Structure 1
Amino acid sequence: MENGGVIQSISRQLQKAKRKIQNTIRTPSLQKTTCTALAFVILVHVYYNYKTTEVDLSVDNDVTKNKFGNHFTEEHKLDNKLTENKLKNQFSAHTVVTKKTNRPHIILMVADDLGYNDVSYHGSEINTPNIDLLAKTGVRLENYYVQPEGTATRSQLLSGRYQIHTGLQHDVIWPAEPRGLPLDSPIIADKLKEVGYATHMVGKWNLGFFKKEYTPTYRGFDSFFGFLNGHQDYYTHRTKFEQWSGYDLLENEKPADVEKYNGIYSTHLFTGKVIDILNTHNKTKPLFLYIPFQAPHTPLQVPDSYVKPYEGSIPDLKRRTYAGLVSCMDEAVGNITKALKVLGYMSNSLLIFTTDNGANEKDGGSNKPLRGGKSQYFEGGIRAVGFVYSKWLESTMAGTVSTDLIHVTDWFPTILNIAKGGTQGTRPLDGFDQWLTITKRASNKRDEILINIDPLSVAEGQPLFNNTFDRRISAALRVDDWKIMTGYPVNGSRSKNWNETYRDGAQNVWLFNIRRDPNEMRDVSDKYPDIVQIMLGRLEHYQ
C-alpha cells in the first residue's frame, strides 16, 4: 500500500468508527474520548499492517464476552448514573500484535484481603470471570504462600527478603508510625529501572512514609498515584486512625486534587489511571506496572450495582457487599487486560496476580476449606490466590496447575531474571528464581518457607527444650510437608485477642502435615516430638 492509500484507509476507518460510536453512545464527552482512543488504535493498526503485515484482527471471544466496563473519560469522572449502571463500551477493537522482545512488560497486580474461597475458580459463589479466564489460561499456583498481613507481604514482594531481615516482623505499619521498609537494599522498581524499565505504581503503598525517602517515587518508581496508608474511604479518600484523620491520595510526591477525585470510587479511579499509563507509554521501552488494589479490604463500600446480582444467592449482608467489592475488582482486571490487548501490550507481557493475605472472615471474606484467616499463621491466612499469565508461556503450560512450593519473596529474583537484571547491590535474598519451575516444571529450588519469627509476641507456658528455639515466641515455619507454629499463631498486636478467643489452654506449639492435612484439623505435635525438635532447630537457625 502506498502512502496515499494508507491515509485513505485511516480516514475510512475513522469515519466508520465515529458513526458507530455516535449511534451507540449518547454522552457527547464519552463519544469524544472513545473516538480519540479508537483513532489511536486504528492508526497503530494500519501502521503495523503497512509495515509488517503482522496485525491479528481477531479478538479473544471469551474476553469479548466479559464486558469492557467503566472506561473513563480523561478526567475519569463519568456522571454518577453512568458509573452506577456500569456503562459498557461494546465496540469491536482490533488487537495490535507486536513482536516479542527479550524483555517483557511486567504487570504485577495485588488484591487486598482476597480469600482462598473468594474466586470462582476455587468454587466460590462470587463471580470472577476475568480473573478466572487469566488463571485458567495461565499457570495457577496452588502451593503458593504469602504473609498473614499486608505490610509483611508487600515488603517481601518488593524486596525479596523475609521480614525478620527488614524489622517488619511485628504488625502492619499503622498511620503515624515512624518506620518503613528499610532503605539499605534496593526494591524491585530500583533494580528494573537500572536495566531500562519504565516503572509506575497505582494503588496502595503501606510500606512507610514518615520520611519522603520511604515513599514510592524515592524507591525506584517513575510515577505514583495512590494512597500511603493501609486503608481509606473508597469515595472520599480520607483515612481515619485513632485521633488522626485526613486525605490520603497522592500524585507522585504531592497531594492529589481532592475536589477532582472526591466521590470517585477508588477501584474505578485506579483503573482509569492504569489505562492512562498504558495509553501514553512508549511500548518500545519495557514497562513495569505495579497495581496494588485497595479492594476488597474494608471499609465495605461499593456501588449498589455490584451488590445487586448477589441479592438472591448470598443472604449475609457483609458477605454480599464483600462479593460486590470483589466483582468490581474483577471488572477492573478485565478492563486492564482489555487495554493491554487493544493497545498492543499483551503479546509481550507477563501478568502476575496475587493476594496479599487471606480474607478476614468477620468482614465477609472466606478462606474455606482452609483454617483461619487474615493475621493468622494458619493456612487461611497465608495460602494465597495466585497465578501467572503470559503469551510467553509455552502452549503445553497454558492452563496448567503448579503445586510447587512458591513464596512471595520469589517474585523479586524471578522478575529480575525475566527482565535480564541482576541482584548486585541488594542485601542477601530469601527468594528464589522460580521462572523455570513455573513455566517448564523444572526442579523446585525451595523446600521451606520461614513464615515469621516475632520476638515481641511471647505466649505463656514453658520452653519445650532448653537447647533450641523457645516455643513461647510467636513463629511459623513450613519445611517440605511439615508446618510448625509456636507461641501465638497470629501476627503482631492480634496476639492480644488470641488468648481470649482461640487459645486452647496453655498450648504453644502446633505441628501439621500439610500434604495429608491441608485444612489443619489434626495437630500431631505430641505424636512426632522428633519432628517438632527438628523444626524448632530450623527456627533457631533463622533466629
Structure 2
Amino acid sequence: MKSWLPLLFAVWLSAVSGNNDHRANNHHHHHNNNNNNNRPNIIFVLADDYGYNDIGYHGSQIATPNLDKLASDGVKLENYYVQPICTPTRSQLMSGRYQIHTGLQHSIIHPEQPNGLPLDSPTMADKMKEAGYATHMVGKWHLGFFKDEYLPWNRGFSTFYGYLNGAEDYFSHKKAFSDGKEYLDLRDHKGPIHSEDGHYSTHLFTEKATDVVRAHDASKPLFLYLAYQSVHSPMQVPGEYKRKYDHIQDWKRRFYAGMVDAMDEGVGNLTKALKDKGLWDNTVLVFSTDNGGAVGDGGNNFPLRGGKGSLWEGGMRGVGFVSGGKLSASGSVNRELIHVTDWFPTLVGLAQGALNGTKPLDGVDQWDTINRGTPSKRTVLLHNIDPLNHKVGAPLYHDTFDTRVKAAVRVGDMKLITGAPGSGEWVRPPGRKRASGSGHHTSNDKNVWLFNITADPTEHHDLSDHMPGTVRTLLGHLQRFNQHAVTPHYPPEDKRSNPALHGGVWGPWQ
C-alpha cells in the first residue's frame, strides 16, 4: 500500500510547483541530453556458476563486501530463477524466450558443435541498439560462433571483448580441442588478442568494462553486459586472493573463495568507474548468476538441494539483485517470482525500446515489481522440458505429460519435477558438518516430485503422493507447454571446427 504514497506526493508536488521541467532539470549531470532523463544506463553483470551460499548476505563463509553493499542499497531478489546450466540462461537472457522455443533445451553449446541462439529473433542488445543505446559486451558469450552471423558483434553489440566458448584457462585464455591441444579463445570485435597471456581474466574483463565506461559518450545511454568467467572451473586465482581463505581446508573451496573475492573486487571497481564518470545516478545495475554453484568445483548452495545441472532449487534459484541510482526502491528484499527471461521485456522497457520483431516472449516486464514492490505478473514458470535426456521409470499417466521426461514447472507456490532431476543432495560447505538428508535416496525409477517451494524451499517434503490432483494439474501445464515446444537442436560435433585449421584461434568455421 505504501508504494503509491511517494507517487501521490510527487503528483501533488508538481501541481504545486506548476512546473515539471524545473524539477526534471535540477540535477546538472542530466543536462547532457534531456531526452535521456528517463532512459537509464543499464549494466548487466552475470557471474558464472555462482552458488546460493557463496554471497555474503546469504550467510556465506566467503566475504563479498562490494556485492553486499550494492545489494543492500538496492533490491535483493529472493524468489529469482535462472536455468541450471550456462547456455540456457544466457539464451533466455538475450532472447526473452524459453529454451523450448529456441531448441536449446538440452545441455549446452559445445566448442565443436555447429549450434547457436537462433537468428530468427532479435537479442536484447539488438533492441537496446535500436533504442539508441551504446551497446558493449565483455566476457563469456557461449551462444554459438560456428558462423559469423552468430558472433556477438553481429547480434547487437557494437563492441565485444572476451571469449566465445563456455570455459577456458583464466590466465592463458586457451581452451583445448578434443585432441587435447590448447588454442586461444580471446578476441574483440576486430580480431584475436594474443597479448594478454598471464592476465587473470577477472582483472582483464573488469579493466575492459571500466574502459568502456570511461570512454562512453554520455549523450547516449549505455548498455553494458559484463559476463565474468568467474567463478566457473578451472580453480584458478592469484595467490593474494586465496591467502585470505587459508583457514578453509578443502582446496577447491579455498580457491573458489579467492575467485569470488577477486570478482567482488572487480564489481566494486566497475561501480567506482560509473560513479567517477557521473553515470551512477542514472544507472540500473543488475547482478545475476547463470546457474547454481557447481558443488564438485568449490561452489555451494546450502541449504538448497542439489546444484548446477539439476532441477532442484540449488541448480536454479539464482543469486540476483538490482542496484543503481535510478532505482527508487532501496534496502528491500523482493520475494516475487522473477525469471531470467523477464530481463528482456523489463530492461528493453526501461530503455523505452520496442518489442516488435521478436517471436512471442516468455518473459514479463517486472520493473514495477522490482522498483515499487507490486505483485509479479508471473504465476507460472517453466523451468525446462528436455526430451533428449535419458528417460526414467514408467509414465505415471498415459493421457498427459510423460513423467519419464526430464522437466520441471512452477505454478504459484508449487513445483513439479519429472524424469531425472540430477543429484538431490544437501551439501554443506566444506568444513561444516556433513550433508544432511542422506536418508532421502529414492528408488531408481521414481520420476515425480512435488514441493510447496514457499513453505519448503529446501525441498525436504515431497508431496506428490499426498496431492495427486495438484500433480495432475501441473502435468497439464507441462503438457500444454510441450505442445508448442520446438524440436531440440543438438547437432553432432564438427571436426572442421578445429582451431588448427583457423589460425590457431577458436572462431567461426562454416
- Indicate the TM-score class for this superposition, using the shorter chain for normalisation: 0.7 to 0.9
1:537 is aligned to 476
Q: 1:325 aligns with which of 241, 246, 259?
A: 259
* 1:432 and 2:364 matched: yes
Structure 1 residues 525, 253: CA separation in 2 closer, same or farther (over 3 Å shift)? farther
Superposed counterparts of 1:140-539, under 5 Å: 140-243=76-179, 245-256=182-193, 258=194, 260-312=195-247, 314-394=248-328, 397-490=329-422, 504-539=443-478
Scaled by the length of structure 1, what TM-score is found? Answer: 0.79
- The sequence identity of aligned pairs, in percent, is 54
Gaps of 5+ in 1: 1-51, 57-95, 492-500
Q: Which amino acid aligns with 2:76?
A: R
Q: Which amino acid aligns with 1:430?
A: D
For residues 336 and 137 of structure 2, what CA distance do their matches in structure 1 show? 29
Structure 1 residues 463, 109: CA separation in 2 closer, same or farther (over 3 Å shift)? same
Q: Which amino acid aligns with 2:287?
A: F
For residues 118 and 182 of structure 1, what CA distance do their matches in structure 2 show? 33
Question: Residue 106 of structure 1 contacts residue 351 of structure 1 at CA under 8 Å; is this kept in 2?
Answer: yes
Deviation at 1:440, TM superposition (A): 1.0
Superposed counterparts of 1:84-95, under 5 Å: none
Deviation at 1:54, TM superposition (A): 6.0
For residues 225 and 392 of structure 2, what CA distance do their matches in structure 1 show? 42
Tell which deviates more after alignment, 371-380 or 516-525.
Answer: 516-525
For residues 441 and 133 of structure 2, what CA distance do their matches in structure 1 show? 47
Scaled by the length of structure 2, what TM-score is found? Answer: 0.84
Question: Residue 336 of structure 2 contacts residue 376 of structure 2 at CA under 8 Å; is this kept in 1?
Answer: yes
For residues 503 and 211 of structure 1, what CA distance do their matches in structure 2 show? 45
For residues 133 and 97 of structure 1, what CA distance do their matches in structure 2 show? 29
Q: Which amino acid aligns with 1:224?
A: F
Deviations 1:108-140 (CA, angstroms, capped at 9, x unpaired): 000000000000110001010000000001000
Gaps of 5+ in 2: 1-24, 424-439, 483-510
Q: Which amino acid aligns with 2:39?
A: R
Q: Which amino acid aligns with 1:441?
A: G
Deviations 1:349-389 (CA, angstroms, capped at 9, x unpaired): 11000000000111111101000000000000000000001
Q: Which amino acid aligns with 2:387?
A: P
Q: What RMSD in Å do the two structures reach over aligned CA positions?
A: 1.9
For residues 514 and 282 of structure 1, what CA distance do their matches in structure 2 show? 46
Q: Indicate the structure (1 or 2) with the bigger Cα radius of gyration.
A: 1
Deviation at 1:504, TM superposition (A): 2.9
Q: Which amino acid aligns with 2:238?
A: P
1:60 is aligned to none
For residues 346 and 224 of structure 1, what CA distance do their matches in structure 2 show? 22
Q: 2:60 is paired with a residue of what secondary structure?
A: coil
Deviation at 1:341, TM superposition (A): 0.4
Q: 1:180 is paired with a residue of what secondary structure?
A: coil
Question: Residue 198 of structure 1 contacts residue 222 of structure 1 at CA under 8 Å; is this kept in 2?
Answer: yes
For residues 238 and 163 of structure 2, what CA distance do their matches in structure 1 show? 20
Question: Residue 474 of structure 1 contacts residue 490 of structure 1 at CA under 8 Å; is this kept in 2?
Answer: no
Determine which structure has greater relative contact order: mean sequence separation of CA pairs < 8 Å that are 6+ residues apart, divided by chain length: 2
For residues 540 and 458 of structure 1, what CA distance do their matches in structure 2 show? 18
For residues 342 and 441 of structure 2, what CA distance do their matches in structure 1 show? 32
Deviations 1:22-70 (CA, angstroms, capped at 9, x unpaired): xxxxxxxxxxxxxxxxxxxxxxxxxxxxxx99679xxxxxxxxxxxxxx
Q: 2:259 is paired with a residue of what secondary structure?
A: helix
Question: Residue 349 of structure 1 contacts residue 390 of structure 1 at CA under 8 Å; is this kept in 2?
Answer: yes
- Aligned length in residues: 439
1:19 is aligned to none
Deviation at 1:278, TM superposition (A): 1.1
Q: Which amino acid aligns with 1:340?
A: L
Q: 2:388 is paired with a residue of what secondary structure?
A: strand
